[in-house]
Amino acid sequence: MIKSIKIALAGMLAVPVLALGVSVLAPVAAPVSAQQTIEGGLDAANPGGNVPQDLTGTDGIFKTIVNILLFIIGAIAVIMLIIGGIRYTISGGDSSAVTGAKNTILYAIIGIVVALLAYAIVNFVVDGILL
């Protein structure tokens, strides 16, 4: 038992030592220039400059698709909230039915919150990329 604990501790101590060794031997990164940004990387990937602007713009395809998917997720969550309310109403006092209905309502509310947060995060990130 003690031997296995010693082996486990040695293994856990070996990970930081190996990570430190790799970081010491790694080459030093060059300072960030104007071309080492996300937009610079996009320009470098397509030097001809024929990337359509509607791909990454504020009304771009990426943002439109994400917004549509998040709208669908939010709509499904609202529908599940309504279904949970109906299940709660028609439970008739049965404790297992009431618990199931409350869980449906709880998960629907969590889904709505997640959809709203995802919408805000995606819009923040896409707008941040464009700056």
Its pTM stands at 0.52
Tell me which residue range forms the domain holding 69: 2-130
User: How many domains does the chain fold into?
Assistant: 1
The pLDDT of residue 124 = 83
pLDDT in tens, 38-80: 666 666 665 555 555 566 666 677 778 888 888 888 889 889 9
Please state, in angstroms and rounded to a whole number, the distance separating the CA atoms of residues 108 and 105: 5
Q: Show Cβ contacts of residue 70 under 8 Å, excluding neighbours closer than 6 positions.
A: 115, 118, 119, 122
